[in-house]
Amino acid sequence: MNQKRPEPVQIVKQRRDAALRALVAGIPFVQFLGIAFERHGDELTAVLKFDDMQIGNPELPALHGGVTAAFLETAALVELGWQNLWHEIESGRLDAESLNPATLPRMPKTIDITVDYLRSGLPRDAYARARVNRSGRRYASVRVEAWQDNRMRPMAQATGHFLMPSPSPE
């Protein structure tokens, strides 16, 4: 039996966390909104940290619909980008530690997104998870759901279509 020994857990985590950081940290609007990503294995959860500036209706108060839409779109885009990146770093084709906006694979582009507002967004943190329902060579269809206090009571959901980056000419 000459099976390869599994890599030490720290090495694996370091590589994946570095890749995720490189994917998200370089996007100014995502930083401005206060969106971060938590990772468990390959599963991502987008976290929108509440800030007073996100309010769109001061009387209720409620999150601005645009903040919710931007949060869902970001969760969908990063999930797609992450799935592409995952294969590159796990196969060793890309070195996670040296990734930066210029060396990262191109991000997909949003073609359209439809947002359903299910409940008024409360002034507290929100979470979202995206699921890639179809990812072809040119297009992808992604569904994303956001919730706040209670996972079973989503505040919004969205379906979006994305144009996949054309493979780099190598």
Partner 1 sequence: MPDKVGIRGAGKRRFIDELPFCRAMNMVLEEVGEGTAVVSMPWNDRLVGDPVTGVAHGGAVSSLLDTCGGVAVLSHPAKPSTTATLNFRIDYMRPATPGQTITAHATCFHLTRTVAFVRTLATDEDKANPVATATGAFVVQA
Residues that bind partner 1 (CB under 8 A): 26-30, 32-33, 52-60, 62, 64-67, 69-71, 73-74, 101-102, 106-107, 109-117, 120
- Shortest distance (Å) from residue 41 CB to partner 1: 27
- Shortest distance (Å) from residue 15 CB to partner 1: 22
Which is closer to partner 1, CB of 14 or CB of 114? 114
Which is closer to partner 1, CB of 13 or CB of 101? 101
| DSSP-based three-state secondary structure for 95 | coil
- Shortest distance (Å) from residue 111 CB to partner 1: 6
Partnered with residue 37 across adjacent β-strands are 46
What is the rounded CA–CA span in Å between residue 142 and residue 152?
20
Q: At what angle do helices 65-90 and 9-25 cross, to 10 degrees?
A: 140
Which is closer to partner 1, CB of 59 or CB of 170? 59
- Shortest distance (Å) from residue 103 CB to partner 1: 10
Which is closer to partner 1, CB of 74 or CB of 89? 74
- The answer to whether the beta carbons of residues 5 and 59 sit under 8 Å apart is no
Q: Which residue has 């839409």 as its token pair? A: 69
- Shortest distance (Å) from residue 79 CB to partner 1: 15
What is the rounded CA–CA span in Å between residue 126 and residue 72?
10
Residues 6+ apart with CB under 8 A from 145: 128, 129, 154, 156, 157
Which is closer to partner 1, CB of 73 or CB of 79? 73
| DSSP-based three-state secondary structure for 168 | coil
